[in-house]
A and B are shown apart, each in its own frame.
Chain A
Amino acid sequence: MDHLDELEAESIFILREAKAKLDKLAILWSLGKDSNVVIWLCRKAFFGHVPFPVMHIDTGKKFPEMYAFRDRYAKEWGLNFLREECPPLEATDPTLPPAARSAARKTLGLKAAIQKHGFEGLILGIRRDEEAIRAKERYFSPRDETGQWQLKDQPPEFWGQYMTSFPQGTHVRVHPILHWTELDIWKYTRREGIPVIELYFAKDGKRYRSLGDQDITFPVPSRADTLDAIIAELETTRTPERVGRAMDHEAEDSFERLRAAGYM
């Protein structure tokens, strides 16, 4: 088994644990490279099937390429697809910096969708290497009744035994690719031939490394216009992945506040 095989086997194990132990799960699909890999891994784990609804929380501000991708692959992959809308900006915490406030719309939209469908848990494509606070996550991460993440009092997780039963009212986040890196994602995408949105490829000397809302996501200088070129670029870069995500950089604790409140 090579490194990608090991990562894949671990993720499949986690997805199957989630399926076996939790009811009413949904996959959160951001349309980006990571959640595409999660959907792909589901098809691996469940022999071509995706046995959970796949939900897109739509801010209405994504790039047109992202919507085109979503509509095509929701059909092509035979997904049980759900689209949910976000409330207007006015509904968010006014003390947050502007970009974080924009991102917080998604948190509210997500909370409403969870309530509407009665989901007990969500499967998300976050990774430890993306962001320092995400590095603290567990594979199975409980949220209390208010949706809060008790960062400082997380359950222990060892020997492939996850917290899979919860007090009434707990909501759980499952993170099957927590242990992957950005480079792993691209190498796996290349190996498996997973389709990606063309915004990731360089055009006129710039490309997107991470995709979010149009108004708070910015391309970074790059010449990488193929998968091979992206992988080569990442193998030598020392620039962090989310450099183009405005909300991360407004204040030292922006991201932590977003996460604690239920952001992905």
Chain B
Amino acid sequence: MRAIHALPTDGTTMPHTSGAAEARPLRIVIVGHVDHGKSTFVGRLLHETGSLPEGKLEAVEAMSARRGMPFEWAFVLDAMQSERDQGVTIDTTQIRFKTAARPYLVIDAPGHKEFLKNMVTGAAQAEAALLVIDAAEGIQEQSRRHGYLLHLLGIRQVAVLVNKMDLVGFSADRFGNVAEDFRAYLAELGVQPTCIVPISAREGDNLVRHSPRMPWYQGPSVVQALDSFAYTSLPVDRPLRMPVQDVYKFDERRIVAGRIEAGRLAVGDTVLFSPSNKTAKIRSIEAWHVPAPPREAYAGQSIGVTLDEPIFVERGEIMSHVENPPVLTTVFKARLFWLGATPLRIGSTYKLKLATTEATAVVEAIERSIDTAELASLPPDRIERNGAGEVVLRTKRMLALDEYTANPRTGRFVLVEDHLPVGGGIVSMEGYPDQRQLVTVRATNITQVGHAVSRAARAARNGHKGGVLWFTGLSGAGKSTLALALERELFARGWQVYVLDGDNIRSGLCRDLGFGPEDRAENIRRVGEVAALFADAGFLVVSSFISPYRADRQRAREAAGEAFHEIYVKAALEVCERRDPKGLYKRARKGEIKEFTGISSPYEPPENPELVVATDALGVEDCVALLLRYVEEHFRV
């Protein structure tokens, strides 16, 4: 028996044309519970798309007859003696076929629980997945497990096939129930299936064209669903990441080699190596047997570069640009799946492999342990084989990595125990600071005065980051009341917090300014700059100014950068006017105050504030509680 590699010749598929840059195969994986019909589906799909090798069908039919067994489409795939004996697919095989749109590489993953590591091996290579569910049996253990793992493995394109519709009389109701149940399950994971297709793999319904036996189904056929999947594109537009694989000195050149996992680089770029924190310039991109030496390189390429300085670099470091470097840390959170025979436990030590680096990692905490078959939480003292969970890992050595969401290829890792890969996970830095600043200061010791104490060091000592809470809103909306209450609460909790408001600014820093539009704008500009300095010094600043103009607030935002949080203290004008704590609205109505915001001068409400506090809907205590929660969430280290 042999592997299937053949090209279609019938009318349902497009003839192959040579010469032009052709589409590469899209890699898809077929997953689902054992006996839900994956192999039958693949066998039939190959037949329907004219992709079976010559004589294959006849050979399998003859073989079935010889063994006195009724022909099954799955036999087409069960190429191995042992598989036929056991009646299950034990490992991932790779099969190719073509539709009119493009070629496909099918990775058929096993449905047996014991073979989850093979399912992971197969699925991790895929760009899209088909998840097969038996219409009669409905959702089973491995349907859920596979759904969960696809998500964790980073596969976002999933079509669900509700198979064996012939066994349920092509019932629209039965399909609807299964589809709804599974959609609800996937929604809990945050997964939205591309589509859910009712099929009969054995009889070929809805594989290529719509089945007359299910006229109630209006969605895509399987082939249409396949053709709607997108290729996984290489992250060329993300920040540069090239994990160093090796440094070669075969001849007079010293070449730093690796695969670019994200971004791009060009000759002349200054690059930073992490975690060693060394920089150099790219002198050349080396290549053998190319028409001209390359000047640039992109994500996906395996390259080698020479540097302008002979710095010591080794395998495991990540090369980036100086801007947008990876995170440096010795502790991070991870969501992981577990394949090890021995459960993962708190205090256990594993070898961690992330990109090309290796480090010893200790499980510091298990925050959640999940039974992926039921999506139920288990006691968080361990994560069992085939389970998943959320853990905190700590390493002795400093690691260069990324949050998975920022750069997946340098934000995922494998854990190894006794030489065997036993788990895989994705990195979250939620709640943990980047330690780069601390390291930079310690490592170089020649930094400018202004950076002798880093922001991260201040945050580490204070227990919170510095920042600006920029309260904006009408006079009487409650800015000062809330600002002072918040300051009191945070100070009591040990925070470095300070309120900037009209009084303490106008009497000193801005006493040269009046109340005309230019002076008001300059007033706000100065407040913005002062707030930014306080934030840099590690303080949480609460500024309390009407600041009616978006442009002024935008300038303040630019001064403080990411530390700036715009808080819209919101109340209807009528409410503010009724409150009128200083009697200003009355005077403005009488014309005693010119250019009074809301009466004779505009207020431009924020378009995208970080937080809205509606003081006309909530009491003061509730507003302060809301602010405290926000502050804890965004500034606590």
Contacts and interface: CB of A to CB of B under 8 A. Distances in A.
A68 interface: no
Contacts of B286: 47
Contacts of B246: 16, 19-20
A163 B3 CA distance: 25
Question: Of residues B5, B81, B419, which shows the largest number of chain A Cβ atoms within 10 Å of its Cβ?
Answer: B5
Interface in A108-163: 128-136, 138, 151-152, 154-159, 161, 163
A1 B245 contact: no
Given A16-B246, A136-B92, A235-B16, A166 B5 contact: no
Contacts of A166: 419
Interface string B50-87: 00111000000000000000000000000111100000
Contacts of B248: 46-47
Nearest to A14: B302
Interface stretch (A29-37, A52-60, A95-103, A236-244): A236-244
A9 B302 contact: yes
B302 A13 contact: yes
B120 interface: yes
A43 B421 CA distance: 30
Given A163-B420, A232-B18, A253 B81 contact: yes
B96 A129 contact: yes
Interface in A1-39: 1-3, 5-6, 8-10, 12-13, 16-17, 19-20
Contacts of B356: 20
A129 B118 contact: no
A236 B16 contact: yes
B228 to A, nearest CB: 21
Nearest to B259: A13
> Range of interface residues on chain B?
35 or more
> Range of interface residues on chain A?
35 or more
A47 B288 contact: yes
A217 to B, nearest CB: 16
A160 B32 CA distance: 24
A97 B628 CA distance: 79
A49 B246 CA distance: 15
Mostly helix, strand, loop or mixed at chain B's interface? loop
A168 B401 CA distance: 32
B405 interface: no
B18 A238 contact: no
B234 A1 contact: yes
B426 to A, nearest CB: 10
Nearest to B288: A48
A79 interface: no
Contacts of B278: none
Nearest to B257: A16
A157 to B, nearest CB: 5
A17 B419 contact: no
A252 interface: yes
A52 B255 CA distance: 18
B96 A181 contact: yes
Contact of B90 (A43, A132, A152, A163): A152
Given A152-B91, A239-B53, A239-B54, A192 B259 contact: no
A135 B94 contact: yes
Contact of B6 (A44, A231, A237): A237
Contacts of A192: 289
A43 B289 contact: yes
A11 to B, nearest CB: 8
B250 A46 contact: yes
Contacts, number: 164
Contact of B421 (A2, A157, A253): A157
A94 interface: no
A231 B96 CA distance: 17
Contacts of B54: 238-239
A157 B121 contact: yes
A154 B255 contact: no
A132 B91 contact: no
B281 interface: no
B91 A161 contact: no
A188 B268 CA distance: 31
Given A9-B301, A12-B302, A158-B414, A51 B250 contact: yes
Contacts of A182: 5
A158 B94 contact: no
A134 B3 contact: yes
B11 to A, nearest CB: 15
B288 A156 contact: no
B406 interface: no
Interface in B379-429: 412, 414, 416, 418-421, 424
Interface in A182-235: 182, 192, 231-232, 235
Contacts of B21: 2
A167 interface: yes
Question: Of residues A155, A156, A192, A235, which shows the largest number of chain B Cβ atoms within 10 Å of its Cβ?
Answer: A156
A132 B53 contact: no
Contacts of A9: 259, 300-302
Interface in B20-42: 21-24
B455 interface: no
Nearest to A3: B24
B124 A158 contact: yes
A241 B302 contact: no
A74 B447 CA distance: 55
25 contacts: A1-B298, A8-B302, A9-B302, A10-B302, A17-B245, A44-B289, A46-B248, A47-B287, A49-B251, A131-B2, A132-B3, A132-B79, A136-B92, A152-B82, A154-B121, A158-B424, A165-B419, A182-B5, A232-B18, A236-B7, A237-B7, A238-B6, A240-B3, A248-B2, A256-B82
Interface of B: 1-3, 5-7, 9, 16, 18, 21-24, 52-54, 79-82, 90-94, 96, 117-118, 120-121, 124-125, 153, 234, 245-246, 248, 250-251, 253, 255, 257-259, 286-289, 298, 300-302, 304, 315, 339, 353, 356, 412, 414, 416, 418-421, 424
Interface of A: 1-3, 5-6, 8-10, 12-13, 16-17, 19-20, 43-49, 51, 128-136, 138, 151-152, 154-159, 161, 163, 165-167, 181-182, 192, 231-232, 235-242, 248, 252-253, 256
Given A158-B121, A158-B153, A248-B2, 20 more contacts: A2-B21, A3-B24, A44-B288, A47-B251, A47-B253, A47-B287, A47-B288, A48-B250, A131-B2, A132-B1, A133-B79, A152-B90, A156-B117, A158-B124, A158-B414, A158-B424, A159-B412, A237-B6, A240-B3, A253-B80
